[in-house]
Amino acid sequence: MPLTPSQTASLCAACDALVPSIQREHDPHGFWARRASDLGVPGLFADLIEALPAAQQKEFGQLLDLLGSRILGLTWGGPLKPITVLSPAQRETLLQRWSLSPVPQLRKGFASLKNATCLLFYGYAEADKPNPNWPVIGYPGPPAEPPAFERAIEPLTPEHDFLLSCETVIVGSGAGGGVVAGELAEAGQDVVVIEKGPYLDRDAFAQRETEAMDRLYEQHGALTTKSGSVSVLAGSCLGGGTTINWAGSFRTPDYILRQWADKHDAPHFRSPAFQRSFDALETDFCIGADRDAPHNPQNRALRDGCRALGYHVTDIPRNQRLPQSEAEWRRVGFSPFGDRDGLKQSTLRTSLHRAVACGARILADTTVERVVIENGRATGIVGFYAPEHGPRVRVTVRAERVVVAAGSIHTPALLMRSGVEHPHLGRHLFFHPTVGVAARYPEPMEPWYGPMMSVVSSEFSKLDDLYGPKLETPPLHAGIMGLALPWRSGAQHKATMQHADHLGSFIVLTRDRDSGRVETDKNGQPVLRYTLSSYDRNHVLRGIAEACRIHLAAGAEEVYFPHNSAPVYQRVHGEVELEKLLAGISGWGWKANRFPLFTAHQMGTCRMGGDAKRHPVGPDGSVRGVAGLYVADASCFPESSGVNPMLSVQAIAHYTAQGLKSTPAQPARRPVAATV
């Protein structure tokens, strides 16, 4: 629903408080004088709100109504006036107090406003109009426009109500669904793949940050947990997370496979057949092919800093072909927004191509409302096809078997909507909770170029039993950098962003022991509930401290902690001051929304195992209580994988597919129809 004039005015005032106009003597590019509203950020923000689900639109409306009310003063100890009549200094104080407020809803409100405003101010650009902040911060923007490209996949584009029949219908096209589709289609099965996101390929990957997030990511890149405390990055496009991820391809560590097998009565995780699935996938997806590629500066910093401190560090195997030129090497860093060069061996490039070549049919832009279950057997799906430009069309697929691979967020919600019941369905949601620790280096880092994530340290991955953080690097682009860096004032944030091309970042990616859950709202849509436990938070804080030490060992001049009120540590302060600072880190107050917390790895919620009472999914991928219904994605994980999960998902999918190939599907009880 559109914002009211009052809500629009409040949003504009908040955006301009976060990115204010600041007078500076020397400001040749107008960077300091430029406000958020000078770039149209409030209007872009309003468009984003309108694109969100109804429940989140309502929450934003309530937040903006509060900002426009006189009772606003009670929330920060200021005058009883709406934000629109406060002075610039008062607006800034309001936001500062909200960011540290003891009231969770106010911290959530601050985080929601800050994250979207800074992302749009630094990240938004149009095809013929670069962002005017980029020259100042040293960000080049995406390379030239996409190349001409002949597509190998042509999804179905129904224009009226649609009825299909097939042997196996697969819901989801990412690491799980894509692999199952390729395996079954090559075995001669009639396969239909359903994907709720759009089909975009090399010729459509403009690699403009906010545009890509709008088109390729779940909820336009704005998905969070119910509390707003965790930003959730998930793919919503053909190829799913494999289209937008950072290419790291880790086998599930043996000690975690052992835990899964022993604790969850699932010995197949330690079987030779499961290892053969890893072997096959590493061949199919060219994993490890670019081990000899040069690291970018921030990956070198992680490597060099770890070596200087005597910490474990190694290269990351990747499903990415070697770049053939310097230009390709530089463009690799933009592939979270779509891989123009086709170097990343996503399911879009591999399994789905093979499936289509063997006759598989693909429906993109199609939301599955429910799995049809008749007499205790899955017999197909019903949903709707809704392209960006075109009418909404009903879709029915009658199938002998249904494989759900919609991810750890949507798979449990779909099963719940379909009437599947199990006490553990939707529970055991793991996140690998992640924070970034940035630092300024004397030399250019340009963290948007080169292989995104090519070095990892596992020095602290088993701090306590089998849990702890890994240290890796993220691709950093202007908008995400603006979102992730701490905001203590408009001037402080701009001053930090001015050094963007000299910033390097490490991520602290923690194997979480304690989990959340996925519920459904009144419309059957997923709601994510996750609270970082004190146990896992201690591991995150240890990772933050070690990331700081590694930055400094690699030559950084100052370190920016991921906290709304943390000081900046400068190298000149000396080692004694550093250790004193790090010793007190747990006392800073790490409540939800006082620090930016992310997840790009959603796992669990339909965990696989041998105990029918504890595991909704059996070791063969079958959903308990419903014949002909299977799950093959990260929701099957019994616990978190401890490493970037793509290859683990693909191994489960590949292993499950071998069983599906050897087990004949049972025909649906009623006749299936052809396309109408």
Residue 674: is its pLDDT beyond 90? no
Classify residue 318: in a domain, yes or no.
Answer: no
Per-residue confidence (pLDDT) for residue 668, from 0 to 100: 47
- Give the model confidence (pLDDT) of 213-226 as tens digits: 999 999 999 999 99
Q: What is the C-alpha separation between 67 and 75, in angstroms, rounded?
A: 10
Runs of H (alpha helix) within 394-507? 407-417, 478-484, 490-497
- Bridge partners (DSSP) of residue 231 are 224, 598
Strands 162-171 and 191-194: parallel
* 32 found inside a domain: yes
Domain membership flag for residue 85: yes
Evaluate if residue 670 carries a pLDDT over 60: no
In this prediction, residue 230 has a pLDDT band, given cuts at 50, 70 and 90, of very high
The pLDDT score that the predictor gives to residue 673 is 36
SS3 of 476-515: the string is CCHHHHHHHCCCCCHHHHHHHHCCHHHEEEEEEEECCCCC
- The span from the CA of 22 to the CA of 667, in Å, is 69
How many percent of the chain have pLDDT more than 70? 97
* CA separation for the pair 429, 607 (Å, rounded): 9
Of 324, 317, 236, 323, give the one whose Cα is nearest residue 281. Answer: 317
**Identity of residue 249:** S
pLDDT recorded at residue 667: 58
Burial 380-414 (b: 16+ CB within 10 A, else e): bbebbbebeeeeebebbbbbbbbbbbbbbbbbbbb
Residue 168 amino acid letter: T
150, containing H or E segment: none
- CB of 30 closer than 8 Å to CB of 132: yes
- Summarize pLDDT for 103-139 with one digit per residue, the tens: 999 999 999 999 999 999 999 999 889 999 999 999 9
Query: C-alpha angle 605/607/613, rounded to 5°?
Result: 110
What does pLDDT average to over the chain? 95
Could you tell me the pLDDT band of residue 581, with boundaries at 50, 70 and 90?
A: very high
- The pair of structure tokens assigned to 46 is 């309003």
What confidence tens digit (pLDDT) does each residue in 59-91 have?
999 999 999 999 999 999 999 999 999 999 999
* Residue 20 included in any domain: yes
Number of domains in the chain: 1
What domain range includes position 104? 1-137
The residue ranking higher by pLDDT, 288 or 321, is 321
H or E stretch covering 630: strand 629-631
Mean pLDDT is lowest, of 228-237, 314-323, 346-355, 405-414, for: 314-323
Q: Domain for residue 143, yes or no?
A: no
Query: Does the residue 43 lie in any domain?
Result: yes
Which residue shows structure tokens 């906290």?
Answer: 563
Provide the pLDDT for residue 291: 58
End-to-end CA distance of the chain: 35
pLDDT 10s digits, 264-274: 999 999 999 99
Q: Is residue 56 part of a domain?
A: yes
More confident residue, 275 or 291: 275
Tens of pLDDT, residue by residue over 139-189, are: 999 988 788 888 989 999 999 999 999 999 999 999 999 999 999 999 999
Query: Are 648 and 253 within 8 A, CB to CB?
Result: no
In the DSSP assignment, the letter for residue 562 is S
> Does any domain span residue 108?
yes
- Determine the 3-state secondary structure of 361 from DSSP: strand
Asked if pLDDT for residue 289 goes beyond 70, the answer is: no
